[in-house]
Amino acid sequence: MEVPLSPLEFARRTRRLHGHREAVVDGDLRLTYEQFFDRCDRWSQALSGLGVGPGDRIATIAPNTHAQLESFYAVPQLGAVLVPINYRLTPDDFVYILNHSGTSVVCAHADYLEALDGVRDQLPGVRHFVALAGGPREGWVDYEAAIAAASPDFESPRIGEGDLLTINYTSGTTARPKGVMITHRNAAFNTIGTLIHLPLGVGERYLWTLPMFHANGWTYTWTVTAAAGVHVCLRRVEPALVCELIRRERVGSMCAAPTVLISLANAPAPARGEVPAGVKVVTAGAPPAAATIERMEGEFGWEVTQVYGLTETAPFITICAPLPEHESLSLPDRAVIKARTGVEMITSGELRVVDEKGVEVPADGQHLGEIVVRGNVVMAGYYQDPEATGRVMGDGWFHTGDAAVLHPDGYVEIRDRIKDVIISGGENISSVEVEGVLLRHPAVAEAAIVGLPHEKWGEAPHAFVVLRDGQQASEGDLIAFTRERLAHFKAPHGVTFVGELPKTATGKIQKFVLRSGAPNLARQ
């Protein structure tokens, strides 16, 4: 009688109850759920005809399009494993991931066909290349033609909740990317937890500002469908386009990294146009500064909620859930609370903040420890890498590598990645704390703090700053500004002004680039 936990079960329900409702908007294309799932079934049937069966790996390299979204249903319901790849990687990265994952079919958007054609001879295991867009092309299966020719009469094999759903490759900033194995159960629990804490209404319109390849779009690829919401596709994040779609499509919710929110807040008003209030924003990927939350809620009238997790945790672990006592706080004080990492989601499992000996730190908001977790959303392991799996999960807890404190009310607050904590003269300095202060300066649009070598202190904080258009500030101004608001040893010893900060595809600042390339980043 039991039905395996899987996001495919949520899709079955939506298909049965809401088939007539709008499901997807992608430019001029609009699909109901009945039409959307018909396409998914046809693509499953077409893949089956290409020899794809349970356990086979099918990769996609595409922006947020309807075809990319369809892969999150058509591939898993075959019992196959989806490998969504970061399209901003290099062809060499594509080769490594496709070969390491054992991908047999790779599906690519028109923008990446040429790059893959250039490395075909390095992909001996790939049996078929599928062009998701771009029309007929020699050596490629045409996606739309294959769907049109396939039968919609598709029957899914039995799928277990412990079966692999996706393999998501990490960014690989310090080593080769690792393949995170997410099961149907992992994704189902994340979807359930998301809908408990961050409800979506039937027909609510969700804007895809977050790449679908990134931790499966934080599982919103399935969460929006489970709620019978509308997927509004967005292929590139440009502030003017985001605001236009919010207005035109009556968007009610979206996900975005803090850097995306900063870009929206700093966009020129004429280009941005009128910004409708009431949008619900889920932010993660890096701890947001209180000043960023304050701007989005005060200036835009949006509701910002921070969640926390990693690709390895499917991805949500915590949410900064509001409490009744927060309602009476001023906007600045409430923003400080909202910038905290939060508390365990109901479905995610157990979280602790522990010291180097594995002992939980005092709940005093001062003692720094590492976040470790165990529970329903933790990955099955790293694909074909038992050594790396053992390093992070060997003691029965997943070690996140994130340094945090625990507040008396039980709320966790991340202070840094452990590797990014700056130790200056024996004192621990949180780059997140210093960045939060700099972002309150009226001339600062973005800021990143890293530790650079220092002759006396071993290392010292250094600021990389992007100024707002038309604003000016000197190195001395910004150092004095932080010294007035923080202990002096936490203030940056130097400031480099840059035109932009190096970021990943999901908006995370690449601090290793700042540390390694500091002399070459200064704005001329």
What distance in Å separates the CA atoms of residue 24 and residue 39, rounded to the nearest whole number? 12
Asked if 410 and 343 touch (Cβ cutoff 8 Å), the reply is yes
How far is C-alpha 212 from the geometric centre of its chain's CA atoms?
Answer: 8
- Exposure of 422 in the CB half-sphere (CA atoms within 13 A): 29
Hey, is 205 helix, strand or coil?
strand
How many Cα neighbours within 13 Å face the side chain of 286? 25
Q: How far apart are CA 35 and CA 19, in angstroms?
A: 8
Burial 65-91 (b: 16+ CB within 10 A, else e): bbbbbbbbbbbbbbbbbbbbbbbebee
Distances from the Cα of 196 to the Cα of 65, 304, 341, 401, angstroms = 27, 17, 18, 27
Closest among 235, 126, 211 to 117, alpha carbons compared: 126
Tokens of 115: 């790059």
C-alpha–C-alpha distance, residues 140 and 39, integer Å: 19
CB 124 within 8 A of CB 130: no
Residue carrying structure tokens 């594995």: 358
Q: Which two tokens stand for residue 29?
A: 């294309």
The answer to pTM > 0.95 is no
Nearest 5 degrees, angle CA 173-CA 458-CA 413?
A: 55
Query: Cα separation of 107 and 130, whole Å?
Result: 4
Contact 379, 189 (CB under 8 A): no
At residue 411, the pLDDT reads 94
**CB count, 10 Å around CB of 384?**
14
Q: How far apart are CA 129 and CA 98, in angstroms?
A: 12
Task: Please give the chain's pLDDT, 524 residues, in tens.
Answer: 889 999 999 999 999 999 999 999 999 999 999 999 999 999 999 999 999 999 999 999 999 999 999 999 999 999 999 999 999 888 999 999 999 999 999 999 999 999 999 999 999 999 999 999 987 899 999 999 999 999 999 889 999 999 999 999 987 545 688 999 999 999 999 999 999 999 999 999 999 999 999 999 999 999 999 999 999 999 999 999 999 999 999 999 999 988 889 889 888 888 788 889 999 999 998 778 888 899 999 999 999 999 999 999 999 999 999 889 888 999 999 998 998 899 999 999 999 999 999 999 999 999 999 999 999 999 999 999 999 999 999 999 999 999 999 999 999 999 888 877 887 876 778 888 899 999 999 999 999 999 998 887 888 999 999 999 999 999 999 999 999 998 888 999 999 999 999 987 667 788 888 887 654 554 43
Give the pair of three-digit tokens for residue 28.
């001029």
Distance CA 368, CA 217 (A): 30
Sign of CA dihedral 279, 261, 265, 87: negative
Distance CA(111)–CA(64), nearest Å, equals: 13
Structure tokens at 123: 């992909």
Q: Are 362 and 406 in contact (CB under 8 A)?
A: yes
Tell me the domains of the chain and their CATH numbers: 35-182 (3.40.50.12780), 237-418 (3.40.50.12780), 421-520 (3.30.300.30)
* Separation of alpha carbons 84 and 59, rounded Å: 6
